[in-house]
Every structure is written in C-alpha cells, then in structure tokens.
Amino acid sequence: MEKTSCQFCVQMNVDSIPALKASKIRLLEALQHEDADIDCLSDAISTDPAMTAKIIRLANSPFYRHARQHFGLHQSLLTIGMDMVKCIALSMAVMDSLGCEIKYARSLWSHSYATALIALSLSSDHVEKDRLFTGALLHDLGRMVFLSKAPEAYSSLFEFEGYWPDMSLENDVFAIDHTVLGETVARAWHFPEETIEVIRNHHKPASRTSALVYLINHVINQYEKGDQSATSPGNRLIHSYLGDMYKDLVNLIIQRYKINAVIIENLF
C-alpha cells in the first residue's frame, strides 16, 4: 500500500468532515444536567425519528421489557436511563457526520458503548462521570474516521490483523495513528480538553481519566479477541494513576462487560 497516497486521502477527507449537528449538540447539553426534565427531553428527542426509534426499540427489547405493555418514548427514557440515552445521542451525532453504514462500524460502536457504560459505572462522582463520558465513548474516534474516510485501506488492515490494527501499523500505512487522528477531529468539533486528553492518551495514560479508559479498553480488547483470562496490564503508569485497587477493577470491568454486552446487542 502506498503510504503517501493513503496519508493524502485521509487528510483530504478529514478536512471535509461536517460539524456535528446543532440540534444534537443542544440535546447533549440538556442531557448533561442531572435534573434534566424528562418531559422536555422527550419533546426534544421526539423531533428526531431515528433516535426515537432506537430508544423505543431498546426499551422494548427482552432485556428491559418484562411487562406486556409496549413502552412509548417517555417510559422508554425512564427504562433505559440517562446514561444510555447519552450514549445513543452522542453516537448518533457522530454517525450523522461520519456515516453509520460503513463496514465494521457496528463492532467498533459495540466496543465504544461497552467502554462508555463501564466507565460511567466506575466513576467516583458526578464530575468524573461528566469528564469520562465523551472520552470513553469516543476514545477510538480516530478508528471511526479511518473507517469512514479510508474505508478500503483500513478494512483491509482489520482483516489482515484479525482485529483492530495497532498504532505502529497505522503509522506505517497512513503516517498517522488513530489517537492523533481522533484528536484532530475532536478539536475540529470543539470537544473539551478533557475529552481530547482521553482520545489522545488512551493507549499511554496521562491522567486518572485516560488511565481508567486505558484499563477498560485493555480488558475489553482481550475479551473481544477471545481471551477470557483478561489479565490486568501490569503497567506502572496505570498503578500510579489508579492506585492499588486497579487489579480489583479488572474483575469489576469483566462483570460489567458481560451485563452490558447483552444490552448493547439490543441496540442494533
């Protein structure tokens, strides 16, 4: 594969990525408020048929629905909870810009939803939850951009590796890796610095937030590759950011991953 032409085609295409839709941004801002009024949210979401359909479909999936009656939007929001609604709203905003019909997008979104839901459940407080959410859901934004803007080249790397290509291979082929590419797009979308920090550093942590996403990503990657032993990474950096408890976190992440995998399956 010709490096310079791939680099050129990714860069050209990144420049043409549209901004996130203002209506989705407004909805995400409304969702950030702990005391968000469910009727107002329901009104705002109901103007978006695709999002409404996704939320209702999930709430009426066997995982959530134990009663016979069909849930409408209002009850669906209460049923799946605000964390899940946030994941759906932000992911659909990104899909609007990058496209959602791209090959392998589903497995990348499954991975991203799992990372975000586990990260939210491990947050120590509301402030950390806010800080983690966007970064955890979009930590692999650069891979989404590769899939969207250089679909054939990136898909063939995925097929060759049998899993997501590592950063050195991305650098060899595209002269940029998914952490730097993700950071570039996140800056163009004016995401907050703490989100950009996670996207940039989720493979070499530089804060407690990026260390948490690193650890969750590491465990999920092992599971997705079929290695059920899921050992902790034994990384001194992780220890310095997460303390002695980080090995216990691995078991917690595995438990949450198994629960969330059933929910995420119903999202597609």
Determine which helix (DSSP H) or strand (DSSP E) holds 174, and give its type and residue range.
helix 167-174
Q: CB under 5 A: which stretch of 84-92, 101-109, 137-145, 186-194 binds Fe ion?
A: 137-145
Q: Which is nearer to Fe ion, 131 or 178 (CB)?
A: 178
From the CB of 140, what's the least distance to Fe ion, in Å?
Answer: 4
From the CB of 215, what's the least distance to Fe ion, in Å?
Answer: 11
Q: Cα-atom radius of gyration of the chain, to the nearest Å? A: 18
Q: Which is nearer to Fe ion, 48 or 140 (CB)?
A: 140
Cα 114 to Cα 121: distance, rounded to the nearest angstrom: 11
Q: CB under 5 A: which stretch of 15-23, 46-54, 94-102, 210-218 binds Fe ion?
A: 210-218
Binding of Fe ion at residue 140 (CB under 5 A)? yes
Binding of Fe ion at residue 217 (CB under 5 A)? yes
Q: Which is nearer to Fe ion, 73 or 176 (CB)?
A: 176
From the CB of 211, what's the least distance to Fe ion, in Å?
Answer: 14
From the CB of 213, what's the least distance to Fe ion, in Å?
Answer: 8
| N- to C-terminal Cα separation, the chain | 33
From the CB of 26, what's the least distance to Fe ion, in Å?
Answer: 28
Q: Which is nearer to Fe ion, 58 or 198 (CB)?
A: 198
From the CB of 266, what's the least distance to Fe ion, in Å?
Answer: 21
Phi/psi for 240 (5° steps) reads: -65, -30
Binding of Fe ion at residue 197 (CB under 5 A)? no
How many chain residues touch Fe ion (CB under 5 A)? 2
Q: CB under 5 A: which stretch of 80-88, 126-134, 148-156, 217-225 binds Fe ion?
A: 217-225
Q: Which is nearer to Fe ion, 42 or 201 (CB)?
A: 201
Closest among 188, 193, 166 to 177, alpha carbons compared: 166
Cα 125 to Cα 208: distance, rounded to the nearest angstrom: 13
> CB 80: neighbour CB atoms within 10 A?
23
The mark string for 69-108 relative to Fe ion (x by CB under 5 A, - otherwise) is: ----------------------------------------
Task: Please state the length of the chain.
Answer: 268
On whether the CB atoms of residues 51 and 88 are closer than 8 A, the answer is yes
Buried b (16+ CB within 10 A) or exposed e, 50-77: ebbebbbebbbeeebbeeeeebebebbb
Q: CB under 5 A: which stretch of 26-34, 72-80, 138-146, 233-241 binds Fe ion?
A: 138-146
List contacts with Fe ion (CB under 5 A).
Answer: 140, 217
